[in-house]
Amino acid sequence: MITAKLIINLFLILSTAWILGLAFSRYGLPAMLGELLAGVILGPPLLGIVSSSPGLEILAELGIFFVMFHTGMELNPKELLENMWPSLSVAIGGFILPFTLGYLAAWLFGGTVYQSLFVGMGVSITAIAVQAVILHSMKIHHSSIGHIIIGAAIADDILSLMALSVLLGLAETGSVAFKPMLWIVLKVVAFFGFTIAVGHYVMPKITRRLTNRGEKAFTFAIVTALVMAFLAEQAGLHLIIGAFLAGQFVRKEIMDDRVFKIINDRFLGISYGFLVPIFFATLSFHLHVPTDATFIGFAAVLILVAVMGKLVGCGLGAAAFKYNFYESVIIGFGMNGRGAVELVVAMVVIKYSDTLLADGTINAPLLTQSQFSALVLMAFVTTLMAPLTLRWMVNRTCLPDEKADFCRLMDESER
């Protein structure tokens, strides 16, 4: 329900995010940093003027939904498939190493085996929506490295889903349940098989018949996105994966240029102009930093292993496919942002933990409040760092004589 309080909160968030985003942009920094800072200033971490509410949460979810659809529209699926194996290598390296380091960090700070496992999983997640926003802001999402990062983030999301299923089953029964994991794999394979078949044989015939009447084409795009999001949820994936794949259905290559421009402009305006600032601002609302030395030490170690785990793990995965040192580091930094997906997973673990504790199945929580706070702080810091480190590394790599495609795209965006 739209209330006076919601309207005031939206006004405060959007105006503050716009001013701070503009200030950051003037110094060549991503606007998303200003949007994150707006949430810190207005929200519970500092002034407490604005707090989370169902209305804001829905708009934030819609923000990542529209961003992923728009990202899908702008990326060529053929180029994604061409980079499939490097993407898988990056995803696996960027999942296993942070998971291991996160587990060790939690265990060294007194966590139980289960708590350490769930902290490790939280550290290993990459937020695909955050990566999409960062790559788009730098205009390098069309590059081969951009395709690898997006593809690896999708694969990382699937790996996280499988790990969550295994760990929850392990916590409940004390053994690894292979049938639920196999069922997840089958659903994911069926979902992607259905998507490829419809995208290749059905959608081109429909999209070519769309007229330049913008409202009908836009409605068709929305309906497609909702259907794919629903199917993704049924397959056990996050709805943003469905939104991304729906965007692949209405890309430029298979429809009239005028229709594509209408749809693209509207999704661009709604997402980056309205909903994305709300998403990043509300992400900051979760930030809570206890002042005791043990927490600060644990959080600092967790941030360190999160950054180094992604940098080294993803970098090695890229190096395995002959990417040079600088390109591998760029991919590692590009995979470093966390965000909404990790927070959702952590909340699922906490709620499931409460149920198992009430039933007497376990005698210690699967994730303590202190560990959850450390994961939230880690997600915030890595989300803040990702665009800064990625831009720094790209600028360092793109010398005047550099011919890499991402260097050319960066140069064109700054003219």
pLDDT at 411: 60
Separation of alpha carbons 403 and 405, rounded Å: 6
Q: Which domains does the chain have, with CATH numbers?
A: 58-413 (1.20.1530.20)
Query: Tell me: the pLDDT tens digits for 382-396?
Result: 888 888 888 888 888
pLDDT at 135: 84
Predicted pLDDT at 45: 87
Burial class (CB in 10 A: 0-12, 13-18, 19+), 25: middle
- Residue 73 contacts residue 249 (beta carbons within 8 Å): no
Distance separating alpha carbons of residues 336 and 383, to the nearest angstrom: 7
Q: How far apart are CA 191 and CA 66, in angstroms?
A: 20
Q: What is the pLDDT of residue 177?
A: 62
Q: In the prediction, which pLDDT does 317 show?
A: 95
pLDDT at residue 348 in the model: 77
Tell me, what's the pLDDT at 404? 65
Query: Which of 131, 137, 122 lies closest to 151 in space, CA to CA?
Result: 131
246 in Cβ contact with 229 (< 8 Å) = yes
Q: Is the pTM of this model over 0.75?
A: yes
Q: Residue 204: what pLDDT?
A: 77
- pLDDT number for residue 31: 84
**Confidence at residue 254, expressed as pLDDT on a 0 to 100 scale:** 62
In whole numbers, what is the pLDDT of the chain averaged over residues?
Answer: 84
Other C-beta atoms within 10 Å of 305: how many? 23
Half-sphere exposure of 295 (CA within 13 A, CB side): 16
Residues present in the chain in total:
415
Name residues of the chain where pLDDT drops below 70. 1, 174-178, 180-181, 210-215, 252-254, 339-341, 399-406, 408-415
CA distance 70 to 67: 5
- Please say whether the dihedral angle defined by the alpha carbons of residues 135, 137, 138 and 142, taken in this order, is positive or negative: positive
